[in-house]
Amino acid sequence: MADRLNFAVIGCGRVAYKHFGALEALSDEARLVAVCDIDRQKAGAASKKYNVPWHADYRMMMAEHPEIDVVMVLIPTGYHAPVVIDLARFGKNIVVEKPMALRVSDCEAMVQACNNHGCGLYVIYQNRYNHPVQAARAAWDRGRFGKPVMSTVRVRWARYQNYYEQDNWHGTWALDGGVMSQQASHHLDLLQWFMGPVESVQCLSATRLLDIEVEDTGAALIKFESGAIGIYEATVATRPDNLEGSMSLLGEKGTAVVGGIAVNELLTWKFDQEEGEDELIRTNVSQVVPNVYGHGHTPNIADVITAVKTGIKPPSLVDGEEGLKNIRLLTALYESAARGGEKVCPGVEMKACRLGEIVN
C-alpha cells in the first residue's frame, strides 16, 4: 500500500471542512483526490478550495477514481445506510459521520455489506480523542478508578430555530433525529465506552422551545451490567448560549470531571493514591476549542489511516460494530421515552427499529 492513502468525500456541508482540515494536517499520510455533493455549488466550492475534481453523483466519482482508498460519507444521517451499503460493492474503506444511521437494522446491514466486500467501516466520534478524555481512559484502563460507581454526561447547548431551518432535513425523524441522536450522540458514546454494556434504561424527552418534529431535551437513567449507574442529560434548549458538554467519572478510588463546551477541560482529577503524573495531567491536558467540534477529527482520521494500513483497529477508533452499540442504546432511549419513561432493556425487550417509532 502506498505511503499516502487517497481519500474522497461525499457531502460537502459544514462538517466536511473539519475532515478537509484533518486531511491537510495529515498530508504526509493522506490526500484528498475527489469530492461529491448533489448540491453543485457546495461541491464546486470544495473543489475550488482544495483543487480536486468534483462530482454530483458518487457512483460516477467512484468509477472515475479507482485510486480511492477511503471514502468519507458526510451526508444527512438518514441517507447513511443506503449510500454506505451501495458503496461497499466498490471494496473501499468507508468513514461515516456519527450517528452511524437511524435504525438498528440499517446499521446491521451496513456492517454486513462491508464485511461481505472486505472493506473497513469506521464511525467518527472525535470527542474520544480529546486530551482530557484520553487521560481519563488511560487511568480507567489501568484500574485507577477501581469499581465504577456512577458516570454522568451533560450536553447543555443552544440551538435556535434558524439552525433547524437552514436545511430541510434538520430536526426530522426521517433524516436527523433530535438532540439525543445528534448533538449528544458523542456523549452517549463516551458514557458507554467507559461504563460498558447496558442492562436497562429509563428515559424522558420533550420538545420545549423549538418548532421541530423531534426532541430538543432528554434525560435518562442507565443501569450498566456492572451495577454502576449512568445519567444522560441532553438539551439544545439552553439559553442564551452554549453552557457545557461534560463528563464525570466516579469510582471507588477516584473521580474525574471533564467539562468545557466540548468535553475539553479537565476540572477534577483526584485519586486516593496520587501518582507522579497527576499534577502534569491537571495542568497540561485541558484544550482550548474554537467551537463544539473540538480538535479530535485529526487524531480520529489518523487512527483510520492506521487501521487501513495495518489491519489493526486502534483502541479509541469506533468501527461499525462499536457504532452499532451506540444505536442500540439510543433506540432503547427513544423507546423508553415513547413509553413514558418505562424501563427498557436493550436487545431484550426492545422492539423499536427507528427513532421515535414503536413496532409491534
pLDDT reported for residue 167: 86
**Residue 48 cell numbers, joined:** 475550488
Closest to 153 in 3D by CA, of 89, 62, 222: 222
117: exposed, middle or buried (Cβ count in 10 Å: 0-12, 13-18, 19+): middle
Task: Say whether 5 sits in a helix, a strand or coil.
Answer: strand
Q: How far apart are CA 75 and CA 77, in angstroms?
A: 6
pLDDT reported for residue 141: 98
| pLDDT > 80? residue 290 | yes
pLDDT reported for residue 349: 43
- Tally Cβ neighbours within 10 Å of residue 184: 26
| pLDDT > 70? residue 1 | no
Does the 5-125+297-318 domain belong in CATH 3.40.50.720? yes
| pLDDT > 90? residue 215 | yes
Q: How far apart are CA 209 and CA 216, in angstroms?
A: 7
Span 229-276, pLDDT tens digits: 999 999 999 999 999 999 999 999 999 999 999 999 999 999 999 999
pLDDT reported for residue 158: 98
Span 60-105, pLDDT tens digits: 999 999 999 999 999 999 999 999 999 999 999 999 999 999 999 9
pLDDT reported for residue 3: 86
Residue 293: partners with Cβ closer than 8 Å, 6 or more residues away: 15, 18, 126, 262
pLDDT reported for residue 359: 41
**CATH tag for 128-293+324-338 (out of 3.40.50.720, 2.60.120.10, 3.30.360.10, 3.40.50.1980):** 3.30.360.10
Residues of the chain with CATH 3.30.360.10: 128-293+324-338
More confident residue, 158 or 349: 158
Span 4-55, pLDDT tens digits: 999 999 999 999 999 999 999 999 999 999 999 999 999 999 999 999 999 9
pLDDT band at 281 (very low <50, low <70, confident <90, very high): very high
Residue indicated by cell numbers 418505562: 342
| pLDDT > 50? residue 2 | yes
DSSP label at 329? H
Q: How far apart are CA 261 and CA 246, in angstroms?
A: 7
| Run of H or E residues at 144 | none
| pLDDT > 90? residue 352 | no
Phi then psi for residue 23, to 5 deg, are -65, -35
The dihedral through the CA atoms of 196, 198, 201, 207 has a sign that is: positive
- Tally Cβ neighbours within 10 Å of residue 136: 27
Residues of the chain with CATH 3.40.50.720: 5-125+297-318
| pLDDT > 90? residue 226 | yes
Q: How far apart are CA 54 and CA 148, in angstroms?
A: 49
| pLDDT > 80? residue 171 | yes
Contact 331, 352 (CB under 8 A): yes
Instruction: State which amino acid sits at residue 75.
Output: I
The overall average pLDDT reported for the chain is: 95
Task: Say whether 356 sits in a helix, a strand or coil.
Answer: coil
- Tally Cβ neighbours within 10 Å of residue 154: 21
Phi then psi for residue 305, to 5 deg, are -60, -45
- pLDDT above 70 covers a percentage of the chain that reads 96
Q: How far apart are CA 320 and CA 328, in angstroms?
A: 12
